[in-house]
Amino acid sequence: MESVLTLFALPQAELLQFEVRALRTPHVFRRCARCDQRRPFVSSERFRVNAHQRLLDVWLIYHCNSCGLSWNAEILERTPAHQVDSLQAYLENCSAQAWREAFEVNTLRSRGLQVEAAVPYEVRWRSEDLAQSALDPGLTIEIRLVDPVEVRLDRLLADELGFSRSQVSKLSKEGVLRAESRAKNPLRRAAFDRQKVFLHQELCQKMLKAAPSDSLLGLSLRRLVGS
């Protein structure tokens, strides 16, 4: 399969990174015994650890978003203590470890739990130069998922670049926007970490007219097209 990197390698190339960060962890939806209704449960970022001789049970503690009732989501069951690499993090209620566990969405779903598919997120932009190439110039966007956020690529690009999703689809069909992926219809799939999107110089020239001159996008486009 022909590489999109070969098709769209950039001479005066610039890389724009979209750093996607979750604003909170996913909610787990289950019936609350106190409310007697299905409610979202929110991670407390605290753990419960029980020891049975040399075996450990570990849970991540959730609370009902309506009444505060506690519910424990199992992480480890009857696991030898020497096999628990994150034991200190569990004992210290490490927030970063709690986020990692709360984002183990597939594990939670495999236990029959309904977990929120998408969470609110923010995108921070970064810019850096790339090595020169012999082919036509353009702009490379690299998606960096700081947290494993589920967001469709076309939605992310539309929101950040000021297009509609139908416009993103049209640009892709015209060949001036291309997403790096082995899957069919990558724009309709969830973005993945370090995924690259390539914008042809022709599109960059059109975008320059609308981009604010003092924005990171505007500055990058001006450097590319020589304005």
Round to whole Å and give the CA distance between 101 and 197: 30
* Residue type at position 57: D
- Predicted confidence at residue 161, as pLDDT, reads 92
How do beta strands 14-22 and 138-145 pair?
Answer: parallel
Helix or strand (DSSP H, E) at 38: strand 37-52
Output DSSP code: residue 190.
B
Q: 14 with 220: CB under 8 angstroms? A: yes
* pLDDT single digits (tens) 116-140: 989 999 999 988 665 544 344 588 9
Round to whole Å and give the CA distance between 96 and 43: 12
Phi, psi of 45 (to 5 degrees): 60, 30
Residue 43's nearest CA partner among 17, 70, 61 is 61
- Predicted confidence at residue 136, as pLDDT, reads 44
What are 64's two structure tokens?
Answer: 């009902």
- Predicted confidence at residue 30, as pLDDT, reads 97
- Half-sphere exposure of residue 110, counting CA atoms within 13 Å on the CB side? 6
Round to whole Å and give the CA distance between 71 and 32: 9
Domain boundaries, the chain: 4-22+120-225, 28-115
User: 204: pLDDT confidence band, cut at 50, 70 and 90?
Assistant: confident
* Residue type at position 80: P
Round to whole Å and give the CA distance between 21 and 15: 19
User: 203: pLDDT confidence band, cut at 50, 70 and 90?
Assistant: confident
Residue 35 zone, left/alpha/beta (φ > 0; ψ -120 to 50; rest)? alpha
**Given CA atoms 43, 117, 24, 81 in this order, what sign does their dihedral have?**
positive
Residue 208's nearest CA partner among 193, 194, 196, 224 is 224
- Predicted confidence at residue 67, as pLDDT, reads 98
Q: 90 with 47: CB under 8 angstroms? A: yes
* pLDDT single digits (tens) 31-86: 999 999 999 999 999 999 999 989 999 999 999 999 999 999 999 999 999 999 99
- Predicted confidence at residue 142, as pLDDT, reads 94
pTM for the full model?
0.80
